[in-house]
A and B are shown apart, each in its own frame.
Chain A
């Protein structure tokens, strides 16, 4: 379980990648990751390609991020979800608030 973040070369996209398990154990580091959004940042990508597990606490953390960032970024993408995680996001109607890829 780990979290890493990366800004794109032009600084417009912040990618937060989560490995293994996405749950409340990451509550602090996840909050810190998006606290670094700058004026340049247009888009935040939460990359779940290496995320095996998530539960409702992860959903809560994502919503918190959405609330905190508000309109300071133009979109928040949740990308590269494995099918089961995608279904969890769909069941929770997250596709209405996030761009799920």
Chain B
């Protein structure tokens, strides 16, 4: 503990120094205010004993400067005065004095006063240090939030928006309210969106959003069903989030025709299906517990399906809207929201938000208002990227014996193989169809000698495939040769399928009647392939498929 004694009288200085040093304080002496300030600048002084009348700079002038130097931490100034000098006491206090010590000095009183002020100074130092730490941590958190918000807003950024289908409002700092809204289109053109509300606020509420958004975008990209997306999100969040945290969510798929909606809704307020004028057509209630609560085995994946038309709109919001409070403490509530929706045709989310803000009045800005409206219109398929075709010509030929016919799936393997070639993958469904029809025709009728007439009987379809299985099991000697040639100049695939069977007369199977559940294969080939021809024996089929056909 360092004490500064400021007195122009050497005697007083000595006296005080002696008394204080006896009590193990470190004492510095100055003979006027100016000297005192110099010592304060050099040493860490805890208490100042200050005389009033001094040359150069007196006590009244010095005191405010000492206080200024001390800043936020309490630096006690004890004025040294004569007992009779009552009139200057007030002025001493006015300039920042904290206490007085009177001449002649009393050792006990001096000691008591020093101890009391030293204690106060220590408390002040501690609280100042805590305040400094608090500020440091606060700044640290602010900075981290900024970084995380940046990462999240990039991760969740809508790569594409679909303003004609979906309109939404999310508060700017929504991430830290735990709200998120994602949307994307599947390769089949279906529109998907997810409105999620994580429990809690702040960083903790935000952490689940990152994996959730990745899962959503990836699965939509693959055109997965809403129920599968819900299962996957639930599993991930259940593993990731602590027990008390979960995510209320609505996952919606609007089919590409705009005619039907599939929805998984867990823990969110009611969704509303309205018409153009906002008239309520249907209230859709949550069916499930929020995501991230149930184990995968317990999780309920059932969806709601309903039909919609282009005049209809689906409104979904997190609980922020209906729980918004006015100055009087009223909640906005579902009734007001429904009335608002019906208040004008084709209401926008911005209009809803501004009405709700008006209701909450001057009160604290409640910033977790998240709402989305889907217009149930048909959407166009995502245009596929034009393929780059391989310029390497090739031939593949497979000779399958009876054993291989029994144990392999040559068509699928061959399609997988061909799909590896640049540009061909986009045509794989068509190629599968061609090869599957041709191969099964050769196997069933050429090699196994089955008759499709069986399929016309009651339950004949099933019977046919049972028979096929048993005949195939007995097969001893047979051969089917599949050849594929790719011509990069023509961008064509030439297929030839030849079997060891007796063949058939071309044309006999081309008479297709819709009532039969068979016989469609050959006519399909003709539509998908550029040309189809049988040899005269009827045991070899040749097909040409053009990769430039517009069928993809």
Question: Which residue numbers of A lie inside 8 Å of B, CB to CB?
Answer: 6-10, 13, 15, 17, 21, 23-24, 27-28, 31, 43, 45, 47, 49-50, 52-57, 59-61, 63-64, 67, 77, 79-85, 87-88, 91-93, 101
Q: How many residues of B contact A (CB 8 A)?
A: 48
Q: Does B520 contact A (CB under 8 A)?
A: yes
B436 within 8 A of A: yes
Residue pair A53, B524 in contact (C-beta under 8 Å):
no
Residues on the A chain within 8 Å of B535, using CB? none
B169 within 8 A of A: no
B522-552 interface mask toward A, CB cutoff 8 Å, 1 = contact, 0 = none?
A: 0110011000000000000000000000011
| Apart from A17-B225, A21-B412, A64-B517: 12 A-B pairs, beta carbons within 8 A | A6-B227, A23-B436, A45-B305, A49-B190, A49-B224, A55-B440, A63-B517, A77-B260, A81-B188, A91-B524, A91-B528, A101-B256
Contacts of B437 in A (CB 8 A): 55-56
Let me know if A101 and B259 touch, CB within 8 A. yes
B3 to chain A, nearest CB (A): 80
The answer on a CB contact under 8 Å between B527 and A91 is yes
Which A residues are in CB contact (< 8 Å) with B521?
55-56
Chain B: minimal CB distance from A66 (Å): 9
Question: Beyond A52-B428, A83-B381, is A28–B462 a contact (Cβ under 8 Å)?
Answer: yes
Binding site for A on B (CB under 8 A): 186-188, 190, 222-225, 227, 255-257, 259-260, 287, 301-305, 381, 412, 415, 427-430, 432-433, 436-437, 440, 455, 461-462, 465, 468, 514, 517-518, 520-521, 523-524, 527-528, 551-552
Contact check, A9 vs B302: say whether CB atoms are below 8 A apart: yes
Minimal Cβ-Cβ distance residue in B for A45: B305
Bound together, the chains give a CA A79 to CA B303 distance in angstroms of: 15
B257 near A27 (CB under 8 angstroms)? no
Given A80-B190, A82-B187, are A101 and B255 neighbors across the interface (CB < 8 Å)? yes
By a CB distance below 8 angstroms, the chain A residues around B462 are 27-28, 31
When chains A and B are docked, how far (Å) is the Cα of A53 from the Cα of B434?
Answer: 11
**Given A80-B188, A81-B188, A84-B551: A47 in contact with B517 (beta carbons within 8 A):** no
